[in-house]
Amino acid sequence: MAKVSMIVNGNPVAKNIDPRTLLVQFLREELRLTGTHVGCDTSQCGACVVHLDGKAVKACTTLAVMADGHEVKTIEGLAADGAPLHPMQEAFREHHGLQCGFCTPGMIMTAIDIVHRKGHDLEDHVIREELEGNLCRCTGYQNIVASIAAGAKAMENSDLA
Partner 1 sequence: MYEFKYHRPSTVRQAANLLAKHEDAKLIAGGHTLVPVMKQRLAAPSDIIDLSHIEGVDGIEIKGRSLVIGALAKHADVASSPTVAEAIPALAELAGLIGDPAVRHKGTIGGSLANNDPTADYPAAVMALGATIVTNKRKLKPEEFFQGLFTTALESDEIITKVSFPLPKKAAYQKFRNQASRYALVGVFVARLPSGVRVTVTGAGQDGVFRVEAFEEALKKRFLPKALDGIDVSPDGLNSDLHGSAEYRAHLIGVLAKRAVDAANNRA
Q: Which residues bind partner 1 (CB under 8 A)?
A: 2, 18-20, 22, 41-43, 46, 49, 52, 55-58, 61-63, 65-66, 68-69, 110, 113-114, 117, 130, 132-134
Comparing CB distances to partner 1, the nearer of 71 and 93 is 71
148, containing H or E segment: helix 141-156
Which residues is 12 bridged to in the sheet?
Answer: 7
Q: How far is the CB of 159 from partner 1 (least distance, A)?
A: 25
Q: In whole angstroms, how close is the CB of 89 to partner 1 at the nearest point?
A: 19
- Alpha-carbon gap, residue 86 to 91, rounded angstroms: 9
Other beta carbons within 10 Å of 73: 20
Q: Which residue's CB is nearer to partner 1, number 66 or number 94?
A: 66
Q: Min. distance of Cβ 42 from partner 1 in angstroms?
A: 6
Decide: helix, strand or coil at residue 50.
strand
Q: How far is the CB of 38 from partner 1 (least distance, A)?
A: 11
Q: Which is nearer to partner 1, 96 or 124 (CB)?
A: 124
Residue 61 or 94 having the CB closest to partner 1: 61
Buried/exposed code over 25-57 (b: 16+ C-beta within 10 A; e: otherwise): bbbbebbebebbbebeeeeebbbbbbbbeeebb
